[in-house]
Amino acid sequence: MRELNGFLTKLAACDLIVLTRVSQERVYCRFFLNGQYVERMFVTEPALVAELSSLCGEGEEITASGVAKLKEMLLVA
């Protein structure tokens, strides 16, 4: 739960996420806003890792459109 809360906080303040897969169960996320690095974190929650992987495009990036989808799906109550 704590990991998801941290991810949601970082997600709300970004427009690009760059992923580095550490293992099948762990992804390193770097969050950017307007081209500037903002924050980083590891994600191990299986459902979230799967969702991030499905939105990942070329260069291991989740672009603005993918970030918008994540925000719509995770931040809308």
- The alpha-carbon radius of gyration of the chain (Å, integer) is 11
Question: In whole angstroms, what is the distance from residue 5 CA to residue 57 CA?
Answer: 24
Tell me which amino acid residue 55 is. Answer: L
pLDDT for 24: 86
Question: In whole angstroms, what is the distance from residue 75 CA to residue 54 CA?
Answer: 18
Q: Please write the tens of the pLDDT for every residue from 40-77.
A: 999 999 999 999 989 987 779 999 999 999 999 888 75
- Residue 35 pLDDT more than 70? yes
pLDDT for 14: 96
pTM of the prediction? 0.90
